[in-house]
Amino acid sequence: MAEWQLKDGDELDLICWKYYGDLPGALEAVLRANWEKLHLFDDLGEAKSLPTAAFITLPDLKRPTAVTNSIRIFE
């Protein structure tokens, strides 16, 4: 696990892309790991900015295994 310090203007999806690249499910995993820290909407449902100077956890995620060889089932 790693920690990332939020700066003014940070966007969660961009942080995930910088850290994980195009790994599927990265944004969702970060949201799950930080649900108690990230209050993304106010009581009226309006989007809020990320808390500046707070730290979020970036969990370790496994990359999907790549197929290195294939088996021909039908000819």
DSSP track, 30-56 = HHHHTTTT---B-TTS-B----TT-EE
23 CA to centre of own chain:
9
- Give the per-residue pLDDT at 24: 92
Global pTM value? 0.76
pLDDT at 32: 94
C-alpha torsion angle, residues 8, 10, 12, 14 (rounded to 10): 180
* Residue 37: inside a domain: yes
Share the mean pLDDT of the chain: 89
Q: Could you list the residue range(s) of the whole structural domain that residue 13 is in?
A: 2-58
Would you say residue 67 lies in a domain? no
Task: Tell me, yes or no, whether 66 lies in a domain.
Answer: no
For the chain, residues with pLDDT lower than 50 are none
24 is a domain residue? yes
- How many domains is the chain built from? 1
**Tokens 């499910």 belong to residue:** 25
Confirm whether 64 is domain-assigned: no
pLDDT at residue number 72: 78
CA distance between the termini of the chain: 46
pLDDT at 67: 65
